[in-house]
Every structure is written in C-alpha cells, then in structure tokens.
Amino acid sequence: MTRTAGDKNNFIRSVIACMVFGITISACTISCVAGSNQPTEQFLFKEYEITLGSTERQSILTGFFLGGAMADIAVLHTDHNHLCNLRIYGFDNNTWVPKLDKTLHPEVLFVDVANIGGHDRLITYENGCLNWFDPESMTEHALIPVTSSFNRPRRNEIPNVDMTHDVNHDGRDDLLVPDVDGFWVFVQMNDGTFAEPVKIGPPPEFGRIYGADGYKYNPWSQSRVHETDYNQDGRSDLVFWNKDHFEVHLQFERGLFSPVAKSFTADIAFDSDNLSALATGDMQGKVLYAFTDLNGDGVGDLVVFSLKGAHISSKHSVYEVHFGAPKPGGGIVFAPEADVVFESDGKIQLGMDRHDFDGDGDVDLMFTTIDLDFLEHSYWKRIKGFMGDDIWLELEFYKMKEGRYPDTPNTIRRIALDGVPSHREPGWVPLDFVLRGGKHESRLLENKYPRAFNTTLRLDDLTGDGRADLLIGDHPWHMAIFAGVTGPTMFAQQHQNVAIAPPNDEEYTSLVDLNKDGKLDILMHHPFTLRDAHGAPKLPPGTEPHRVTILLAQ
C-alpha cells in the first residue's frame, strides 16, 4: 500500500483488549509526496507498526542485542509492584516479534545502551553500580561500581539516561555518569574493559532536563564540559570553567585523561557559564556558550552569548566568536575583540547548534530565534491566540565556506513553538520561559505553555548521501522533510510529506540506523493515539496501548 499526501491517515485505531505487552504488527510502504518544483528523487520508507501494552509509561530503546542483522527493540515498564519488566522484540520473518521477557533487579533506576567490546549491551543502574544484561543467560552482570545523583522524575517509569559518548574520539563508547560534584568519566579500552574513572567538571544542571515530557534524559548536554584540543597534540581534551579560570584535563596517548586538571585563563569577559542565569532578574548578561573549534584550524574557539536591554522591546542578543590561536609555550590565546558576530535584529537568539550539513568537514551553524513581538503580552495577542494564531520560532542556517560564515543566513525555516496548530493558542510567551528551554522542570508548572518546544525537529542524514536532511513534524497528520542539497541553500525549497502522524512530542521521535545500511530510519513511540487539538491525550495515561511506528529507509 502506498500513501500519498492526499490521504488523511488519522491512525485512530481501536483500543485493543490485550495484556500488558500485547503486540500487533503491520507493514506497508510509504512514499513522500513533493511539490511540483521538487526533484524526482523521493524519500521512500517501509512502515512497520508494533502495538504494545497499555501500561501508563513505557521506555523504548534499540540495539543489536541478539546478534541479528536488524536492530532489536527493548521495551521497559514498571508493574504494580514497582518492578522493572523488560521485553525484547527481534526481527523475524519480516516482523518484530517478542523474543524474551525478564524481570530485572527491583533496584533498577534507569537504563541505557552502550557498545562494549563490539556488542550492544543494555546497561542498567542501581544504587552504587552499573550492570549489563546478558540476553543469553537472562542475567545481569556487574559492570562498574559508581554512584550517580540522577533522580528519576517519575517513580512509575524506567528512564533512558544517556551515559554513552565517545569522549576521546577513538570510536568506542565511553561512560559518563553524573554525580553531585561532576561526571565520572569511564574510558573504554581495546578489550572492552573500562579504565579507572576520572571526576571532571561541575555537576550538570538537572533542572534544565527534568521537565522532559518523555523518558529520555541527556545529562552530558548540560555538563558545561567542553571538548577541545588545548595543547594542539591532535587529541581532544576536556575543559570547564571554575569560578574565575578554566581547568583542562589533558588526554594522553592511550585515550585516558589526566586525573589532575591544569588551570589557565582567557582575557575574554563573561559573567558565568550558566545559561539559566540569564532567565532571572533583569535577564541581561554575558555567558560562556561554547569552547570548540569552529573555523577548522585545530585550535579551540570561545563563543560568548550576550543578552542586553532593560525592557523586552529593547532586548538584543548576540553570539560573539573569539578565534583561538596557539600560545607560545603551549595553550591557547584569544583576541579580546570578537572575530565573528552573529545577531538577529528584532529577535532573541535561543540556541546555536553545530552541524556539518554537507559532509565537507566544516562546522555549519543553526540558530533558533524568536521575534520580540511574541515575548510581550497584550489583550490583542490573547484574542489572536484564542483564534489560533501560533507562536513561531525561526531556524537560521549558516554554511561555512572557505573558513568564513556569511553575514546573513543562507536559509531560514520556521516551526511552531508548541507543535501542532490548534484553535486556541496563548498568543505570547514569557522570555524567561524560552531562555530556560523546553525541557526545564519549570515547564511542568506552566499551565499556559504545557506543549512549548515540543515540535518534532530532527537534522541528520536520512539517505546516506552525506548531506543532512531536515525533518519537521508540526502537523497532526504528516511530517515534512526538506532534503539536503548541494549549494548554499543546503535544503530543498519544497518539502516532501511523509503521510503519517508524528508523536505528540519530539522526544518520542528518533533517527537510528536499524539495519546498518548507512541510512537513518525513523522510529516513533506513540504513548497514546487519541489526541486533542493541542496534541495532548484525550484519555487518561495507560488507557490506550502504546505504539511504535518504524519507517525503514529504502
């Protein structure tokens, strides 16, 4: 069956009376329909649908746990006794079918997936210890003794805490475990064992991620630890700000990091390295945003974010980039004046993401901005919001060419702040709310903005051609894909539609290569099916079965 944009696929399926891990699987082929000016080449996906049980909260992870050619799907949930139940689905006879069921240790608090010694392993954490699950013996084995300060926000779920990251860039998964005074960094060795840990950096600001709607948390994204080559030996070091100076843990030849940090300073003024500080008081200041190599010369550069203006109407933001240069005797020196300045007139910049859009090795940039007009309250805006007017974010893309960024964006796209359009919108949003971000724990208390920042936005290579594609899911019945193209525009002007309903929140959509063909596939977890106009569930949690939709790239 082939679906087109003309089809209205509402995916409203009857609720299945089934046991907790009941399953229904279907498969079909989906083609993307493009505008008339679009190239003839189209995205093509084969769709698989898995219907799970009706427990209130479930966590979905993928990995090659069972050794097959297709990735397996691990589903975890807690039962009425607060025990952690695991079911793994394997691909068999063109479907995903249950392969094993296991009740894990009752003390399991969160999980992740890591490739250890060339094998994907389900990692579990209980107080004081990381374990790995062996599907052959159906047992958990001790991996590393370690403590973590991460507290799962909900007792009735087993969250996925992202602990894996190749921190020394040797092609192996290392483990980064957050604790009260920093991160435990465990470097994986050639034989699959882990070296003695090094404690690095300040602790993450969990408040910026505890407000996630889903069950995926990435403490390292809030670590304020920067990866850059401080001494220009070709190896990435770990750097962080400590009150009034930088500290760096140098990487050695074997990929290990020095347990003793080296201190250095930079003659660049900023108030702190904590972005959340800008969301308090008069919301002005300068914050260290990044310490990374932007111009490709092998030396780290400093990025400082500045927010000025006493009133919303006079607010002005800017990203200042100070290129680094090798310092005689070792280290890095920065020019006091910014080498590159990014600013958006009449807008506030909310983020700067680094990508390589076309695979040429250069660091390209995407800025997220919001018009000042959306940040001020008025009676007229309340009326417009009541009539359905959306609050919009703009995505500004800058492509580096010959070591330079253009003065204006190469391409601009826009997305709705709260995802799916509806008949009733707030009309405006407070600046402190958008500065904290959509996953801040304060989001749970903002009744007017419960869906803010939930739009599905993914930027990665879906086709394996080396160019990033832009996926946006801000429509109730389909997703839009802007194909990556050569040239300065970076993306096709006309999008292609995937006629399938996206989940209600971007945290439930992942891009992952499920069959090792070099193309990223789309995996969507639907905690419910019946939605109101805002994308929220119509029925109480756990009333409907969860669903997993897989779009396998063809």
Check pLDDT > 50 for residue 443: yes
CA distance 436 to 443: 9
Question: How far apart are the C-alpha atoms of 497 and 472, rounded to whole Å?
Answer: 10
In a domain, residue 431? The reply is yes
Alpha carbon distance 508, 490 (integer Å): 26
Q: What is the pLDDT of residues 123-152, one digit of tens each?
A: 999 999 999 999 999 999 999 999 999 999
Q: How far is CA 549 from CA 27, 96, 129, 500, in A?
A: 10, 11, 33, 9
At a CB cut-off of 8 Å and minimum separation 6, what does 122 contact? Answer: 61, 63, 65, 74, 86, 111, 112, 113, 132, 133
Contact by Cβ (8 Å): 492, 482: yes
Query: d(Cα 537, Cα 374) in Å, to the nearest integer?
Result: 27
76 part of a folded domain: no
pLDDT score recorded for residue 450: 61
34-72, pLDDT tens digit by residue? Answer: 543 444 357 889 999 999 988 989 999 999 999 999 999
Task: Look at residue 386 and tell me whether its pLDDT is greater than 80.
Answer: no
Average per-residue pLDDT in the chain?
Answer: 88
- At residue 377, does pLDDT exceed 90? no
pLDDT(362) > 50: yes
Q: What is the DSSP string of 5-21?
A: TTS------PPP---TT
Give yes or no for residue 452 having a pLDDT over 80: no
Q: Please give the C-alpha separations between residue 399 and each of 355, 365, 403, 505, in angstroms, as whole numbers.
A: 9, 7, 10, 28
- Distance, in Å, from the CA atom of 275 to the CA atom of 289, rounded to the nearest integer, reads 8
CA distance 321 to 307: 15
User: Does some domain include residue 3?
Assistant: no
The number of domains in the chain is 1
Q: Is residue 193 part of a domain?
A: no
Structural domain span for residue 442: 346-512
Average of per-residue pLDDT across 513-521: 95
| Residue (of 102, 209, 103, 99) closest to 162 by Cα position | 209
pLDDT tens string 388-422: 677 889 999 999 998 899 999 999 999 988 766 55
In a domain, 317, yes or no: no
Q: Where are the alpha helices (DSSP H) in 446-501?
A: none
Give the model's pLDDT for residue 508.
93
Amino acid at 512: V
154 assigned to some structural domain: no
Tokens, residue 250: 């140098």
Token pair of 7 as six digits: 């089809």
Query: Is 122 a residue whose pLDDT tops 90?
Result: yes
Q: How far apart are CA 418 and CA 427, in angstroms?
A: 11
pLDDT higher at 303 or 54: 303
Q: Is the predicted pLDDT of residue 340 greater than 90, yes or no?
A: yes
Beta bridge partners of 174: 165
In a domain, 402, yes or no: yes
Q: Does residue 227 belong to any structural domain of this protein? A: no
